[in-house]
Amino acid sequence: MELTPEQVKQFDRDGFLLFPNLFSEEEVGILRQETDRVSQIRSEMVVREGETEAVKIMFRLHETDGETASPAFRAAAHTPRILRAAQQCLHDDDVYMHHSKLNMKAAIEGSAWMWHQDFHAWHLDGIAEPNMATMTVVLTEATPLNGCMYVLPGSHKEGRSDPRRDESTAYKLWVAKTPDMKEYMKKYPEPVPIVGGAGTAALFHCNLLHASGHNLSAEDRWQIFFCFNQCKNRPADVENPRPDYVRSRNWTPLTIAADDGIVTAGRELTA
């Protein structure tokens, strides 16, 4: 897949692009089987929450080694549909993966993500420039009831806000302060929900304000996130760096692989 120049301009202007049904039912089926498999693993890379200890996040699915490594998710990350789009929107062919994570947002218990910009945490990781982007793919239908993600169009132009630490859920993060967020919501167009059937995807800028609500539905909402950085923008050394599964030290440029890689990986997994 090659984005058109208009799509790249739209990304620069709005901070995101939507891709309805980017992945097929067959591909999503394979990725869901892998989600089931990896979610059984007990590891610090699998974060749980709630009464039923449902998985909130699983990290580092894209590597070849490690407990949560998944050949199918690795293949997805290298498809032109994901990797080429990230390269084009970052205006750089040399990109690596800062981290991958799969948010499982369990039925009834899956908690919210307050409004935030991803880049604040990544800047603290030692990354200088906000030249990063995330491709997210919904693996189950995403709806307002099950806590779909919302993005605030154009808000990546705001630069880095001065956030506060939120520790109210099983994953602690930096979130926009409420008075600031009220101002941003007056200033920018209405938030856009990232809704759609399984296989729908969105690419968004690391300073784009985004959030999602609690999952009030009876079904889990599964969504994978691949976060890309330019190789030349790799983190500087910091004191007490976060673990490799959130701040990768694998800065080798990623190479585009076959677009049918997920299906091939799926066949190998069942062989």
Ligand X SMILES: O=C(O)CCC(=O)C(=O)O
Footprint of ligand X (CB under 6 A): 103, 105, 113, 118, 149, 210, 212, 223, 225
Burial class of residue 172, CB neighbours in 10 A (0-12, 13-18, 19+): exposed
| Phi-psi category of residue 232: left, alpha or beta, with phi > 0 → left and psi -120 to 50 → alpha | alpha
Closest approach of ligand X to the CB of residue 271, in Å: 32
Cβ proximity to ligand X, 243 vs 253, nearer residue: 243
Q: Residue 266: helix, strand or coil by DSSP? A: helix
Cβ proximity to ligand X, 81 vs 105, nearer residue: 105
Closest approach of ligand X to the CB of residue 212, in Å: 3
> CA angle at residue 260 from 41 to 57, to 5 degrees?
25
* Residue nearest ligand X, Cβ-based: 212
User: 199 with 216: CB under 8 angstroms?
Assistant: no
Other CB atoms within a 10 A radius of the CB of residue 114 amount to 19
Closest approach of ligand X to the CB of residue 146, in Å: 10
| Phi-psi category of residue 118: left, alpha or beta, with phi > 0 → left and psi -120 to 50 → alpha | alpha
d(CA 182, CA 84): 35
Cβ neighbours for 238, distance < 8 A, ≥ 6 positions apart: 124, 125, 126
Closest approach of ligand X to the CB of residue 4, in Å: 27
Cβ proximity to ligand X, 114 vs 265, nearer residue: 114
Cβ proximity to ligand X, 90 vs 265, nearer residue: 90
Closest approach of ligand X to the CB of residue 84, in Å: 23
Cβ proximity to ligand X, 95 vs 206, nearer residue: 206
Closest approach of ligand X to the CB of residue 110, in Å: 9
Closest approach of ligand X to the CB of residue 191, in Å: 13
* Three-state SS letters, 214-257: CCCCCCCCCEEEEEEEEHHHCCCCCCCCCCCCCCCCCCCCCCCC
Cβ proximity to ligand X, 213 vs 235, nearer residue: 213
What is the pairing mode between strands 149-151 and 192-194?
A: antiparallel
Cβ proximity to ligand X, 155 vs 223, nearer residue: 223
Query: Which of 57, 54, 25 has the alpha carbon at shortest distance from 141?
Result: 25
Other CB atoms within a 10 A radius of the CB of residue 266 amount to 21
